[in-house]
Structure 1
Amino acid sequence: MFFTVTIVIHDGFVELQQMRYVVAVAETANFTRAAERCRVVQSALSHQIARLERELGARLFDRTSRRVRLTPAGEAFLPAARQALDAAERARAEVAAASGELRGQLAIGTIPTVTAVDLPSALKSFHVRHPQVRITLRVGASDELAEQVRQGTLDIAFLGLPPDVRPKGVRGRALARGELVAVVAPGHPLADMADVDLRRLSSEVFVDFPAGTAARAQSDEAFAAAGVSREVAFEVTNADLLARLVRLGLGIGMMPAAFAPELRDVRVVELRDPPTRVEHLIWSRQRPAPAAAAFLEALDLPAALMVT
Structure 2
Amino acid sequence: MELQQLRYVLAVAEERNFTRAAVKSHVVQSALSHQVKALEHELGVQLFARTSRRVELTDAGAAFLPAARATLDAADRAIAEAVSTSGDLRGRLLIGVIPTVTTVDITAALGVFHRAHPNVEIGLTTGGSLDFVTAIRESAMDVAVLGLPDATPPTGVATEILAHERLCAVMSPEHRLASRRRLHLNDLAAETFVDFPASSPGRSQSDRAFTAAGLRRTVAFDVMSTDVMLDLVDQNLAVAMLAPGVVADSRGLNVVPIADGPTRIEYLAWSAFNPSPAALAFLDVLRATSAGD
Give the TM bin, normalised by the shorter chain: over 0.9
Per the TM alignment, residue 195 of structure 1 is displaced from its structure 2 partner at its CA by 2.0
- Post-superposition Cα deviations, 1:61-119, rounded to whole Å, max 9, x if no partner, equal 22245432222111111111111111111111111111221121111111111122111
CA RMSD in angstroms, aligned pairs only: 1.7
Query: Of 214, 229, 252, which aligns to 2:216?
Result: 229
Per the TM alignment, residue 47 of structure 1 is displaced from its structure 2 partner at its CA by 1.8
CA distance in structure 2 between the aligned counterparts of 1:66 and 1:212, rounded to whole angstroms: 40
Unaligned 5+ residue runs, structure 2? 289-293
Q: Confirm or deny: 8 A CA contact 2:144 2:269 kept in the other structure.
A: yes
Query: Of 257, 262, 271, which aligns to 1:284?
Result: 271
Q: TM-score, normalised on structure 1?
A: 0.88
Is 1:205 aligned to 2:180, yes or no?
no
Query: Of 81, 97, 111, which aligns to 1:124?
Result: 111
Aligned residue identity for 1:247:
D
The 1:263/1:134 distance shift into structure 2, 3 A limit, reads farther
Q: TM-score, normalised on structure 2?
A: 0.93
Per the TM alignment, residue 188 of structure 1 is displaced from its structure 2 partner at its CA by 2.0
Moved over 3 A (4+): 64-67
**How many equivalent residue pairs?**
288
Q: Aligned ranges for residues 296-307 of structure 1 at < 5 Å?
A: 296-300=283-287
Query: Of 217, 220, 244, which aligns to 2:231?
Result: 244
Identity of aligned residues (%): 52
Query: Of 6, 10, 13, which aligns to 1:26?
Result: 13
Query: Of 72, 79, 85, which aligns to 2:66?
Result: 79
The 1:74/1:276 distance shift into structure 2, 3 A limit, reads same
Q: Aligned ranges for residues 168-187 of structure 1 at < 5 Å?
A: 168-187=155-174
Per the TM alignment, residue 187 of structure 1 is displaced from its structure 2 partner at its CA by 2.0
Query: Of 23, 27, 40, which aligns to 1:53?
Result: 40
- Alignment correspondent of 2:291: none
Unaligned 5+ residue runs, structure 1? 1-13, 302-308
The 1:219/1:67 distance shift into structure 2, 3 A limit, reads farther
- Post-superposition Cα deviations, 1:200-254, rounded to whole Å, max 9, x if no partner, equal 2111111111111111111111111111011111111121121122223332211
CA distance in structure 2 between the aligned counterparts of 1:186 and 1:62, rounded to whole angstroms: 60
Per the TM alignment, residue 263 of structure 1 is displaced from its structure 2 partner at its CA by 7.0
Q: Confirm or deny: 8 A CA contact 2:106 2:286 kept in the other structure.
A: no
CA distance in structure 1 between the aligned counterparts of 2:233 and 2:162, rounded to whole angstroms: 29
Q: Aligned to 2:27, what secondary structure does the other structure show? A: coil
